[in-house]
A and B are shown apart, each in its own frame.
Chain A
Amino acid sequence: MIKILKYSFYDLMRSRWSYVYLAFYMLLGFVLLFLNSDLSKATITLMNIIVVLTPMIGTIFGIMYFYNSREFTELLLSQPVKRSTIFLGQYLGLSLSLSMSLIIGLGIPFLMYGITQSDAVGNFITLLASGTFLTFIFVALSLNIGLGNSNKIKGFGYAILMWLFFAVIYDGLFMISLIVFGDYPLDKFALGASLFNPIDLSRIMILLKLEISALLGYTGALFQKFFGTNLGILISVGVLLLWIFIPVMLMLRKSLRKDF
């Protein structure tokens, strides 16, 4: 599997897009720090960008990579390699290269502004960790969509819709249901609902770590009340890991039945 991972990774490093993505984050980091030299404030601004952007990039790259690497996949399938190895290798290669672009791209400007000497270093690491989680989650989800749709246009459409659902529509539905069912106790429902959206979950995780209760929002506050800060963080990390594990398992199962 390491070999497949290595070649997928090389292949991606060859493509211009990894560098565009890296350059984008680097630029973003420098601009943010230039406009707002307070590291912890810049971290918060960055959070709002990361929880929306990393899922989007993961989704788009995931689905694009799946369709573009079809030749590579077919070539590998005719070799003596296990199917699950091929897909797991490609998945990890893609997720790792995207995560590296994120970590290096943001790491360089923040390191240059002396993040290691400030108190915001823990928060910054949490931020990168949640971006990495989201990348791994959304790449897995979009690969699932790719495996399920041979039609590129359809696959692309579904993938974008999936991202839109988690990034925007989910929150909307959640808000509406809170208003409609405002007369009932909704604590447990709200708590449960936030577990089913990895974007919400990572936002809560970051905010719990940042200890900014003002920004926590309804579900975040519930999380804190129910579990306390530390257990809250632990639970959100655990559920995020499940969010990686389950789609990856589904992807591997799907790949075993697919015709090439």
Chain B
Amino acid sequence: MIQVTDLNKSFGKLEVLKGVSFSINRPGVFAVLGHNGSGKTTLLKTILGMVIPNNGELQVNGAAIKRSWEYRKDIAYLPQIARFPENLTVNELIKMILDIRNRKGREVELIQRFGLEKFLDKKLSDLSGGTRQKVNIVLAFMFDANICIMDEPTAGLDPVALIELKKLIEEEREKGKTILITTHIMSLVEEVAEEIIFLLDGKIHFQGTLEEMQKQTNEKDLEHAIAAMLVPNGTHNH
């Protein structure tokens, strides 16, 4: 579904991705992990075509994405920071995206689930961070896209909304979607993710299931396993 081969990207002198290769060939939830500034967002944005790689190849659904845009019909994206055109109301924003995508969505159901009804006529600039994130979630999930890319979806969410989000991810997985998610919340990874893609120093350091990761690092707890990954040669002690 997603095939990344030898992807390189630098911003000026800063090399962010140094030959990233991985492939995702089955549906499920994939967690992209790595410390701050490890290139998670850059990687996701290159898949979306928002960041142009210096070299390397990217395929989505079997076709190279270079200079193509149609493939994004099949991708939903939840950006890290929920920033929207400030002059629009929530309702107008949703209508606009529906219009641009030219598709029917299930926005009514999602608005209800996240309790956004009373915010529909509010301007986006007047919403709190958490509420914006809920709008973000509605926008990402309202189309039945096969691939869902979520960059820090939990940012600013209250516990109730967080539970709802987890349920939503679970439902989407059952529908056979491929979900890519970045997060720093390990409990979320443990709950929803099947496979982990671990970025370190601009390269894929590890790709495999949670069990494989635990086996490789001899750590039962995911957080400790991750920490062990961050320390080279397994010299990590606690």
**Chain A interface, number of residues (Cβ within 8 angstroms):** 25
Q: Give the residue name and chain of the A residue nearest to B70 (CB).
A: A80
Q: Which of A3-48 contact B (CB under 8 A)?
A: 3-4, 7, 11, 14-15
- Is there a chain B Cβ closer than 8 Å to A72's Cβ? yes
Nearest Cβ in chain A — how far from B100, in angstroms?
A: 5
Please measure, in the bound complex, the distance between the C-alpha atom of A253 and the C-alpha atom of B143, giving whole angstroms. Answer: 31
Cβ of B168 within 8 Å of any chain A Cβ, yes or no, is no
Contact code string A55-93 (vs B, CB < 8 Å = 1, else 0) = 000000000000001111011111111110000000000
* CB-based nearest A residue for B69: A82
Flag the segment in B28-36, B46-54, B198-206, B228-236 that touches A. Answer: B46-54
Residue in A closest to B145 when the chains form the complex, CB atoms: A80
Known contacts A11-B87, A71-B84, A79 near B101 by CB under 8 Å: yes
Contact A260 B72 (CB under 8 A): no
Complex contacts, A74 vs chain B, CB 8 Å: 50, 79, 83
**Number of CB contacts from chain A to chain B under 8 A:** 64
Q: Are A79 and B87 within 8 A (Cβ)? A: no
Name the B residues within 8 Å of A79 (CB-CB).
Answer: 72, 97, 100-101
Q: Is B77 an interface residue (CB 8 A)?
A: yes
Determine whether A183 belongs to the interface, using a CB cutoff of 8 Å to chain B.
no
User: Could you tell me the distance between the alpha carbons of A193 and B87 in the complex, rounded to whole angstroms?
Assistant: 43
Rounded to whole angstroms, the CA-CA distance of A218 and B79 in the bound complex is 57
Taking A7-B100, A80-B101, A81-B100 as known contacts, 12 extra A-B pairs with beta carbons closer than 8 A to each other, sorted by chain A number, are A11-B88, A69-B85, A70-B83, A74-B79, A75-B83, A75-B84, A75-B97, A77-B48, A80-B69, A80-B72, A259-B45, A260-B45
| A–B complex contacts, Cβ < 8 Å, 6 sampled | A71-B84, A74-B83, A80-B72, A81-B100, A259-B52, A260-B50
